[in-house]
Every structure is written in structure tokens, then in C-alpha cells.
């Protein structure tokens, strides 16, 4: 029943990937190791040869989820060199993102859960959040008389909050309006944007 080292490494990655998705869908406490391991094609018994504890997996899956999100931001930016921030904001504040909890922003899906965890998990989030800020900070350019990190923090806050709110309500129109209102308020933030006037 033993597998090769590289197969074991692949299995390990599969567990982290499954966890990064399932934690976002159900919360850290919303899914057990048995279901997580089965989602990765293994049985529960194999878990502790790969991870020290569930908390260990929580930290690693958080890190993975943040990395994935940042990669998606980078890909979106590269595809839209004239207005990277506008493109990322449009992707982020979309109903598609609202519906896709398992593959969406980990700060929205797990930020409150992370606040209840130990410093290891928060370190994963802090790293990812700093990278978010660095990217936005680049994209907002040099706002006049403003610190670009402060500006980036305000922009990210609006994005995260709008998605949390959008997901917490039943009414689809209200959900959508939160995303649109946030997008509108962020319109001035990307210098590359062809100023489109009011969205309406």
C-alpha cells in the first residue's frame, strides 16, 4: 500500500487543494478530516503522516487559497494591461464571484474564521493580504496627496466588505446592488481607466 515519494507529494497537494476549496465552502469547522481526505481520493488514516494536525492543514490550505487568489489577480491584470485594477475589481465584484464561494476570495470566505484561529493561520492571511495590498498599491499609482498603501487598504476593504454583504443576504437584487455600488465608488481609483462617466 505504500506509494512512491512523488506520489505521496502529489497526494499531499491534492489534500491541500481539496481543503482550500472545501474550507471556503463550509468553514474550517464545517468539514471533517474524513470528508476532506475522501475528496482528495484517500482515507482518513493517511492524514497524520502528511499533516501534524487539522490546524496544520488549516494554515496550509489558507496559504494555498490566498496564493491561488493572487495568481488569478495577476493573470487578470496581465490580460488587461491598460487598466489592471479596473479589471480585477470587475472580476471581484461580480455575481459569478458571489456564487463561487469555494473558488473565491479566501478573505471573504474565511477571514472571520481566521480571526478565531491561532497566529499560524493569521500569518497565512497576513502574507496574502500584504500581497493584495502591494498589487493594488502599484495599480492605483500615486494618488495625489495620498499614501498609496492607505488608498490600497481602503480599496481592498470596500471590495471585501461588499462581497461579505452580498453573500449574507437572500435577495439577489440587493446582492447585486452591493457589488455595483462598491464598484461605482471605486471607479476613480484606477488611473488607467478610460473614465466612463456614471455606470447607472
Is the CB of residue 53 less than 8 Å from the CB of residue 67?
A: no
What's the CA gap between 9 and 13, in Å, rounded? 6
The entry of DNA, a second copy, none that residue 34 binds, CB within 5 to 8 Å by partner kind: DNA
Binding status of residue 62 toward DNA by CB under 7 A? no
Q: CB under 8 Å to 137, separation ≥6 — which residues?
A: 148, 149, 151, 152
Query: Rounded to whole angstroms, what are the CA distances from 79 to 73, 82, 83?
Result: 10, 9, 9
Binding status of residue 12 toward DNA by CB under 7 A? yes
Q: Which is nearer to a second copy, 11 or 124 (CB)?
A: 124
Q: Which is nearer to DNA, 49 or 144 (CB)?
A: 49
* Shortest distance in whole angstroms from residue 127 CB to DNA: 23
Binding status of residue 54 toward DNA by CB under 7 A? yes
Query: Would you call 84 exposed, middle or buried from its count of C-beta atoms within 10 A (0-12, 13-18, 19+)?
Result: buried
Binding status of residue 138 toward a second copy by CB under 8 A? no
Size of the site for a second copy (CB under 8 A): 52
The one among 16, 23, 50, 84 contacting DNA by CB under 7 A? 50
Of 97, 81, 95, the residue nearest 190 (C-alpha):
81
* Shortest distance in whole angstroms from residue 17 CB to DNA: 14
Q: Which is nearer to DNA, 7 or 157 (CB)?
A: 7
| Residue 86 grid cell | 479596473
What's the CA gap between 108 and 122, in Å, rounded? 14
Tell me the angle at which helices 54-79 and 119-139 cross, rounded to the nearest 10 degrees: 10
Residues that bind a second copy (CB under 8 A): 25-27, 29-30, 101, 107-116, 119, 122-123, 125-126, 129-130, 145, 149-151, 153-154, 156-162, 164-165, 167-171, 174, 177-178, 180-182, 184-185, 198
Residues that bind DNA (CB under 7 A): 1-8, 11-12, 31-35, 37, 42-50, 53-55
Amino acid at each position: 500500500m505504500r506509494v512512491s515519494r512523488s506520489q505521496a507529494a502529489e497526494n499531499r497537494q491534492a489534500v491541500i487543494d481539496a481543503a482550500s476549496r472545501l474550507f471556503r465552502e463550509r468553514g474550517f469547522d464545517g468539514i471533517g478530516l474524513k470528508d476532506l481526505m475522501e475528496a482528495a481520493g484517500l482515507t482518513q488514516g493517511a492524514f497524520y503522516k502528511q499533516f501534524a494536525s487539522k490546524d496544520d492543514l488549516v494554515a496550509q490550505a489558507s496559504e494555498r487559497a490566498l496564493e491561488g487568489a493572487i495568481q488569478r489577480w495577476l493573470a487578470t491584470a496581465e490580460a488587461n494591461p491598460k487598466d489592471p485594477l479596473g479589471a480585477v475589481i470587475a472580476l471581484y465584484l461580480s455575481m459569478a464571484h458571489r456564487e463561487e464561494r469555494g473558488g473565491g476570495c479566501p478573505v471573504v470566505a474565511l477571514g472571520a474564521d481566521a480571526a478565531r484561529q491561532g497566529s499560524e493561520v493569521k500569518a497565512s492571511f497576513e502574507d496574502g493580504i500584504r500581497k493584495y495590498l502591494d498589487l493594488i498599491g502599484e495599480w492605483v499609482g500615486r494618488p495625489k496627496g495620498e499614501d498609496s498603501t492607505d488608498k490600497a487598504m481602503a480599496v481592498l476593504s470596500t471590495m471585501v466588505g461588499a462581497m461579505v454583504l452580498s453573500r449574507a443576504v437572500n435577495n439577489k437584487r440587493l446582492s447585486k446592488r452591493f457589488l455595483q455600488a462598491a464598484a461605482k465608488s471605486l471607479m476613480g481609483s484606477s488611473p488607467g481607466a478610460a473614465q466612463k462617466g456614471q455606470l447607472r
